[in-house]
Chains A and B, each alone.
Chain A
């Protein structure tokens, strides 16, 4: 067994929001170079889980460890240095609608890494090509693109800096099955090419099976099951079984 610490770890993370415990002692590990998918129903704290890991929210207690280093309350230059190794694809793509596509993709390169605008544009067009978007898209604005194209631009923006850790928040939500599958293919391809650690959250099982090496099921603010994606269908866990079957009856109560 390797002595190397996991790439990313949530240790007993708790957060209380809007009157209830969203995460209630979450323990989760993403191993280096593997793709972890967190599944779970609506309102179970999946997005909060990755926002805490990205430093966008601070937990009430618990720790976030990157390569064994506690980054939970990190600020300043060290924080910027560590989080520069992250990439993230947001659920709604979160593209900057006042900037053209190429400037969205090259945003980090120009504004944080100090690359010149012509060089940034060149790198952005290369990144767009990796997600099968042509040069002609570069000067359009996000509002001119379809939902699937916006997700691809967001993927290009997430991978352009060659991150070590990449997060996908519901990457296929709102897309038709064919476009969703194409986005999943691109995610798998890019994660493999970069050799990075990927953490995805989704309630789309087809997506989970396609992009995941490991799967963890989040319910009630805790991980109720985790294992390799191959064992998902014979987990023996009532929560996972109900989620896979899509039944209203079972230990999970529908969020309505």
Chain B
């Protein structure tokens, strides 16, 4: 086969897919922001996406904060700068690791679950059935999930920030002989509002991406059980890639403004 043709075909496929995802996302935003709303569905999704993700996000944050503290202490020791550890831990957690790790954990837990659930609903004609019951399945299934993702992830990130900093504090005060009060004061004095706010803005974007990928791949799943499995894998992988890509773009944008 002509290699130019192969490259052309792949490029066209990628562009078509990107266009399809963009249209789906725009339709999703419209479903989030305009009636009919389904408050019970939103409450269920807030519970499933937000509340039930607290343990896994909390565990990730505490260990990351602790490991980060140890690494910064070791690295800082090379030029006698161990004392800046509390500030760097706080900055690293709030600006970067809190939102990114919470989003990745949510991607693994929620994106996959949404893709599997919607994919199974597609395979068993439940989505068609909803349409025959005069209810727009997109608004009922996709809108509340996207909104729940955008609301939940900043809240989870705020919790992850606190727990991550606490993880660093624990290691610093228990094993590295830092003064607990001084550690907290150094952290509080150093952190600026924007450090936390920029992380929460990132988290809202990541929350949209995580739920969007789950919804997109699940809603468009074809081919029965195999299709559901494929949708689940694609949802997790594409969510992770888009989180890293959008993290870089947002960080670049924030650092210029």
Mark A residues whose CB is within 8 Å of B.
51, 54-56, 80, 83-84, 86-88, 90-92, 94-98, 107-108, 111-113, 157
Contact = CB atoms under 8 A, between A and B. Distances in A.
Given A96-B130, A112-B133, 9 more contacts: A83-B134, A91-B125, A94-B125, A94-B126, A95-B129, A108-B134, A111-B38, A111-B140, A157-B133
Contact of A95 (B126, B135, B140): B126
Nearest to B129: A94
A56 B131 contact: yes
Contacts of B129: 88, 90, 94-96
A51 B128 CA distance: 9
A74 to B, nearest CB: 13
B132 interface: yes
Nearest to B140: A111
Contacts of A95: 126, 129
A111 B124 contact: no
A92 B124 contact: yes
A107 B135 contact: yes
Contacts of B117: 98
Given A111-B38, A111-B140, A94 B124 contact: yes
Contacts of B130: 96, 107
Interface in B2-48: 36, 38
Contact of A86 (B121, B128, B132): B132
Interface string B89-121: 000000000000000000000000000010001
A6 to B, nearest CB: 21
Contact of B125 (A84, A87, A92, A111): A92
23 contacts: A54-B128, A54-B132, A56-B132, A83-B132, A83-B134, A84-B134, A87-B132, A88-B132, A90-B125, A91-B125, A94-B124, A94-B125, A95-B126, A96-B121, A96-B126, A97-B126, A107-B135, A108-B135, A111-B36, A111-B135, A112-B135, A113-B134, A157-B133
Nearest to B117: A98
Nearest to B134: A112
Contacts of A97: 124, 126
Contacts of B36: 111
Interface in B119-163: 121, 124-126, 128-135, 140
Nearest first, the 5 A-B pairs at minimum CB distance are A112-B134, A94-B129, A108-B133, A94-B125, A88-B132
Given A111-B38, A111-B140, A94 B128 contact: yes
Nearest to A84: B134
Nearest to B131: A56
Contacts of A113: 134
A98 B41 CA distance: 11
A108 B126 CA distance: 13
Contacts of A91: 125
B145 to A, nearest CB: 13
A18 B202 CA distance: 42
A204 to B, nearest CB: 19
Contacts of A80: 134
Interface string B38-61: 100000000000000000000000
A3 B199 CA distance: 69
Contacts of B38: 111
Contacts of B128: 51, 54, 56, 90, 94
Contacts of A96: 121, 126, 129-130
A98 B117 CA distance: 10
B121 to A, nearest CB: 8
Contacts of B124: 92, 94, 97
Interface string B195-224: 000000000000000000000000000000
Nearest to A167: B132
Contacts of A90: 125, 128-129
